[in-house]
A and B are shown apart, each in its own frame.
Chain A
Amino acid sequence: MSDFLRNRDIATEILSRLSTKELGSARCVSKAWNSFISDPAFLRIHSQRWTCPSALFFVIRERSGAGFRSYFHLKKAIYIGLHDSSSKGQESLFRFLPERVVLMASSNGILCCRGLVPSVRIKNCDPDGEPRLELHFMIYVCNPATREWVAFEPLRTGNSSVVFEPVRISSVAQYFGFTFYPNGFLANTTKPCFKLVGIQNSKTLSNSYSFVIYSSVTKEWKTSEEVLCCDYTINQHKVISVGHMFHWLTMAHYMITFDVEKELSAVIKLPGPELESVECLGNSEGYLHCVTANLTEIQVWILKDYCKPEWTLKHKLDLVEFCRGHTELNHLLPRLERREPETDTGVNLVALAFHEEILCMLVKPEKLISYSFNTRKLSSQCTAFAADDYFQRYPAIPYSDSLTSINVPEGDQTSGANSNGI
């Protein structure tokens, strides 16, 4: 059976049933296995099979500065494995990148980060000859499982309209959404590629947003001509992409959407009554989902048609029933049965993220649980971090590990690739 790989269909069928972690180990079996497992055709099939989140990232923010000029500063990300409760600081996870970074977004196994410390450059291009300081963060798109990465600047040099002001650095950079297409995004290209979309206040119109787009195909930024008139303030960190659609939660019961292919934006009302709390947006089975919660249940809604934006209720979790059915949640019952209004500090069950039919929730004081709507199974992890401090206030970013290649061009100075080709 040393010719196991000779029938590629069978080998693909068997090996694609192994998790990404196990594949990493299987690559060491032999040279033939290593090249078979690194083959994009194989990895494509594997990633279609393994879409469930393998970990959650929590991005920790800290307030820095004081008073009027204070702003939230992205500090670091914490990784929590959903299968093995392993937790890792980002130091060990992003060690392969040339500088310290903060995580911004995750899509199909690929992460988008930006540098922690801005680079400063003196520019002399103003008509009046005044030298000017320009600050920018490098952006990194990487796969921590293969340590492949590519870096680029947030916006093209020479485009003076998009210089970040120090006070706004954090906010602007946080609004980026990121999507990775493992199979390309056009019918005629199957090579992996990615796009970033940033939302910012329009320079020309008040109460409006404009959009900037980066494409890994053109390797260029461009400002979309689309302008969205909208009064709502963007809710930091709450951006999610589903294929070519980007969604930003606002502070109101509405979200902003942007179609990166057609460059069209819209404002869409969120599901449920306005008083109900919208916990998170999620990507599952190719559609946008929204998780809402009230005192008695958690609801998962699906949006299928953006032209006729109607949310359909897909899953409903009766909290009392749910907690009664799982011994690890029994301690929450008394309070739920009394229907005691939860205060800010007294929320015991918080939906953090929804990804591919898996709902991740925080159970105070220190448990992270994930519930699969497909298998009706609950798994729980103890976390080493105090729930109050970290999880509730910070966005949870689901991550599904994958050996998919970002398709880093060879010989690129601002990129790195692992030594696949031993």
Chain B
Amino acid sequence: MSSSAENPTLTAEITKPSTEIATETAQSAKKITLKTSDDQIFEVEESVAMEFATVKSFFEDAPSSTDTVPLPNVPAKPFSQVIEFCKEQIKFKANPDETEKKRSNSEFVKEKTNEDLVEMIPVANYLEIKDLLDVLNQAVADRIQNRSVEYVRSFFGIDNDFTSEEEALLREEHAWAFEDVDED
């Protein structure tokens, strides 16, 4: 996907946003221009852009709009990864295969850093991409599962604001929660 700020040229007027555009005809060339919070311009195929519920409803309100859609809460870096995910997803719309979809999803999160995942979550949330949000939430939960408190703090960049006495007391209360923790 081009992320350059070159002149976006919209081919035709968008008549009716639809998810039925899966039929890969001439219509699939239709592109939608989106602008991220850091002023990057993305030209995205309509079928991909309609995966973003927020963008979809924008066009439902203004079906004939040819304007660039501003995405004020979306930085370019996580956005390009989100587009990558949605491109994969629409393949399964035409041809549903749950096992393959699961494999593809886990492949997607596997190669992402902790930072990537954490940055994509608010983007997926803002764009209302339910499938992606679910995949990301589970991926983050999996990564902090059975990890030490120290690991979780560094994962999210959280400062420990307990005094050592308070923390010792709380840990003692949850003594059973501290068995069998994986090495960091």
| Known contacts A7-B122, A30-B153, A31-B162: A84-B180 contact under CB 8 Å | yes
B157 and A29 contact, CB distance less than 8 A = no
Contact of B149 among A9, A17, A25 (CB under 8 A): A25
Q: A7-B125, A28-B167, A422-B170 are in contact. Are A21 and B161 (CB under 8 A)?
A: no
- Choose from B157, B161, B166, B177 the contact partner of A25 (Cβ within 8 Å): B177
Q: Which residues of B are found within 8 Å of A15, using beta-carbon distances? A: 141
Please state if A17 and B141 are interface contacts (CB–CB under 8 Å): yes
Across-interface contacts of A4 in B (CB, < 8 A): 118, 156, 158
**How distant is the Cα of A393 from the Cα of B134 in the complex, in angstroms?**
44
Tell me, rounded to whole Å, the shortest Cβ–Cβ distance linking B171 to chain A: 6
Do the beta carbons of B177 and A29 come within 8 Å of each other?
A: no
Task: Please give me the residue from chain A that is nearest to B160 by CB atom.
Answer: A30
Q: Are B166 and A22 neighbours in the complex by a CB distance under 8 Å?
A: no
Q: Are A10 and B152 in contact (CB under 8 A)?
A: no
Q: Does A419 contact B (CB under 8 A)?
A: yes
The answer, yes or no, to whether A251 is at the interface (CB within 8 Å) is: no
Could you tell me the distance between the alpha carbons of A9 and B124 in the complex, rounded to whole angstroms?
13
Q: Which residue of A lies closest to B121 (CB)?
A: A10
Query: A21-B177, A31-B161, A84-B180 given as contacts; is B156 within 8 A of A419 (CB)?
Result: no
A4 and B159 alpha carbons, distance in the complex (Å): 12
When the two chains form their complex, are residues A30 and B162 in contact, meaning their CB atoms are under 8 A apart? Answer: yes
Cα distance A32–B152 in the bound complex, in angstroms? 14
Q: Contact check: which of A10, A21, A28, A418 meets B162 at CB < 8 Å?
A: A28
Total number of A residues with any Cβ neighbor in B under 8 Å: 34
B61 at the interface (CB under 8 A from A): no
Which residues of A have CB within 8 Å of B145? 18-19, 22
A191 on the B face (CB < 8 A)? no
Q: Does B181 contact A (CB under 8 A)?
A: yes
In this complex, what residue of A is CB-closest to B169?
A: A419
Given A24-B176, A86-B179, CB of A422 within 8 Å of CB of B156: no
CB distance from A256 to the nearest CB of B (A): 37
Given contacts A2-B157, A10-B122, contact A25 B173 (CB under 8 A): no
A90, chain B: closest CB distance, angstroms: 14
- A45 on interface, CB distance cutoff 8 Å: no
A34 near B170 with CB under 8 A, answer yes
Which A residues lie within 8 Å of B173 (CB)?
146-147, 418-419
Distance in Å: Cβ of A319 to nearest Cβ of chain B: 29
The yes or no answer to A71 lying at the interface (CB within 8 A) is no
Residues of chain A contacted by B138 (CB below 8 angstroms): 17
Known contacts A17-B138, A17-B141, A22-B145; is-contact A33 B158 (Cβ 8 Å): yes
Closest to B170 in A: A28
- Mark out the residues of chain A between 110 and 150 whose CB falls within 8 Å of any chain B CB in the assembled complex: 145-147
Cα distance, A4 to B153, chains bound together (Å) = 11
CA distance A33 to B166 in the complex (A): 14
In the bound assembly, the distance between CA atoms of A31 and B167 in angstroms comes to 10
Question: Which residue of B144, B160, B166, B176 has the most chain A CB atoms within 10 A of its CB atom?
Answer: B176
A13 within 8 A of B: yes
Q: Is the CB of B158 within 8 A of A25?
A: no
Complex CA distance for A345 and B3, rounded to whole angstroms = 74
Residues of A contacting B158 in the complex (Cβ-Cβ under 8 angstroms): 2, 4, 29-30, 33
Say whether A26 faces chain B, with CB atoms less than 8 Å apart: yes
Chain A CB within 10 Å, residue with most, of B133, B161, B173, B179: B173
B137 interface hit (Cβ, 8 Å): yes
* Most chain B Cβ neighbours within 10 Å, of A21, A23, A86: A21
Chain B residues closer than 8 Å to A146, beta-carbon distance: 173
Check A44 for interface membership: any CB of B closer than 8 A.
no
Instruction: Indicate if the CB atoms of B169 and A422 lie closer than 8 Å.
Output: yes
Shortest Cβ distance from residue B145 to the other chain A in the assembled complex, whole angstroms: 6
Interface residue? B58 (CB, 8 A)? no
A2 to B158, CA, bound (A): 5
Does A14 interact with chain B (Cβ within 8 Å)?
Answer: yes
Pairwise interchain contact B133-A29, C-beta atoms closer than 8 A: no
> Shortest beta-carbon distance, A93 to chain B, in Å?
9
**Contact residues of B between 67 and 115, Cβ < 8 Å to A:** none
Decide: B141 and A26 in contact? CB cutoff 8 A. Answer: no
Nearest-Cβ distance from residue A111 to partner chain B, whole angstroms: 15
Q: Which residues from chain A contact B125 at a C-beta distance below 8 Å?
A: 7, 9-10
Residues in B neighbouring A17, C-beta threshold 8 A? 137-138, 141
B16 within 8 A of A: no
CB distance from A315 to the nearest CB of B (A): 22
Counting CB contacts under 8 A, is A1 at the interface? Answer: yes
With both beta carbons as reference points, the residue of chain B lying nearest to A12 in the complex is identified as: B137
**Within 8 Å CB of A14, what residues of B?**
137, 140-141
Does A253 lie at the interface of the complex (its beta carbon under 8 Å from any beta carbon of B)? Answer: no
Q: Please give me the residue from chain A that is nearest to B142 by CB atom.
A: A17
| Binary per-residue interface labels of chain A (79-100) against chain B in the complex, 1 for a CB within 8 Å, 0 otherwise | 0000010100000000000000
Q: Is the beta-carbon distance between B157 and A1 smaller than 8 angstroms?
A: yes
A244 touches B (CB below 8 Å): no
Evaluate contact between A18 and B174: CB separation under 8 angstroms.
no
- Residues of B near A26 (CB, < 8 A) are 144, 149, 152
Question: Can you list 12 A-B pairs with a CB-CB distance of less than 8 A?
Answer: A4-B118, A7-B125, A13-B133, A14-B137, A19-B145, A22-B145, A22-B177, A29-B160, A30-B161, A31-B161, A32-B161, A84-B180
Chain A interface residues (CB < 8 Å from chain B): 1-2, 4, 7, 9-10, 13-15, 17-19, 21-34, 84, 86, 145-147, 418-419, 422
Task: Other than A1-B156, A30-B160, give 6 A-B pairs with Cβ distance below 8 A.
Answer: A7-B125, A17-B137, A18-B141, A25-B148, A30-B153, A422-B162
